[in-house]
Structure 1
Amino acid sequence: MAETKQREFTGKHMILVVGLFFGTIITVNLILAYFATTSWTGLVVESSYVASQQFNEKLAAQKVQAALGWTPILHYQNGRIEFELSDAAGKPVVAGFAEAELKRPSHEREDQVITLLANEAAFVADYTLAKGAWDVFVTVKSEDGTPFIYRERIVVE
């Protein structure tokens, strides 16, 4: 009968086991942190209960807005915000009022509301945004009182 030699569990083996254990945990945490910071940042509301109660009204307003056939285009470049809004025929919408609410998705410290001024084909404002993600909510009220609300997330490089 052959004699089997038992291997000894040394301190080097223990260091290797502990290193692999914590290395696996740290690697998984880094991967999860990467995906958490590069994916959707979520939705922030002051009261989720109130927001849920207003859901049907907001859905009905979106349907009315979609029926208008208006086409929005938002641009931000070199410290200038431009919002183009054309009707179903492709002509610019004439509005008596336009403003943009600029919000950070993650906090309220830098939130701003700015007035957009009408020019030939767009509503514009000169405003420099800090780098990062911004939610831009544009509210336009046409001359006949028709409201139009547009939301877009932009990333400033």
Structure 2
Amino acid sequence: MTQKSMTSRGFTGWHMLGIMCLFFGVIITVNLIMAYFAIGSWSGLVVKNSYVASQEFNEKALTGKEQAALLWETKLDYKNGEFTYHLLDKDGQAIDASSATAHFKRPVGDANDTSVTMEKTGTGQFVSKIELGEGAWIVELNSEAGLDDPYRQIRRFIIVNGEYK
């Protein structure tokens, strides 16, 4: 009876080629998947023209400081698809603003952005019908309240079970 001796071939160049192809194949595949999802998601664009926005920044900052010095207060509420906004002075008295607009957006992404012109229901009181989904929102309110620039207030809030929190 003869036995053939089995010899081990060891690690060859073909083995190394296979490992390198698998290694770079995984890296390239992951990069392509990440690029696909990056293209299909939020662009990250905050302003259309960053140069113009930078030129307006100091003016907006000064206006914001002047308005903050007024110590005005805003009260917001959302129930049953109705968003209400009250504008009060530092003593809690209603400010007779002539009009107000609200721009709603999600903290990330612009798919749900919407703007509404609010209806005046009383002195410093405005209301608008709008359906806001559950979760976090940012609202930018602009009121014509007899100032040089519209009174601007930005608030972040959460909708839970259809109500303002």
Which TM-score tier does this pair reach, normalised by the shorter chain? Answer: 0.5 to 0.7
Q: Distance in 1 between matches of 2:137 and 2:45?
A: 13
The CA deviation at 1:131 is 3.1
Q: Please name the residue that 2:152 is paired with.
A: 149
Q: Which runs of 5+ in 1 are unaligned?
A: 1-40
Q: Does the 8 Å CA contact 1:72/1:84 hold for their aligned counterparts? A: yes
Q: Please name the residue that 1:126 is paired with.
A: 129
User: With structure 2 as the length reference, what TM-score do the two structures score?
Assistant: 0.59
Q: Does the 8 Å CA contact 2:102/2:139 hold for their aligned counterparts? A: yes
The CA deviation at 1:120 is 5.5
CA RMSD of aligned residues (A): 4.4
Q: Is 1:76 matched up with 2:78? A: yes
Q: Distance in 2 between matches of 1:94 and 1:120?
A: 5
1:51 aligned to which of 46, 50, 53: 53
Q: Distance in 1 between matches of 2:56 and 2:62?
A: 10
User: With structure 1 as the length reference, what TM-score do the two structures score?
Assistant: 0.62
Q: Please name the residue that 2:41 is paired with.
A: none
Amino acid at match of 2:56: Q
1:114–1:133 Cα change, 3 Å: farther
The CA deviation at 1:153 is 2.4
Q: Which runs of 5+ in 2 are unaligned?
A: 1-43, 161-165
Amino acid at match of 2:153: Y
Q: Distance in 2 between matches of 1:75 and 1:42?
A: 30
Q: Does the 8 Å CA contact 2:78/2:84 hold for their aligned counterparts? A: yes
Q: Does the 8 Å CA contact 1:81/1:127 hold for their aligned counterparts? A: yes
Amino acid at match of 2:87: L
Q: Please name the residue that 2:31 is paired with.
A: none
Q: Is 1:62 matched up with 2:34? A: no
1:55–1:72 Cα change, 3 Å: same
Q: Whose Rg is larger?
A: 2
Q: Distance in 2 between matches of 1:106 and 1:126?
A: 20
1:92 aligned to which of 91, 94, 104: 94
1:113–1:125 Cα change, 3 Å: closer
The CA deviation at 1:42 is 9.1
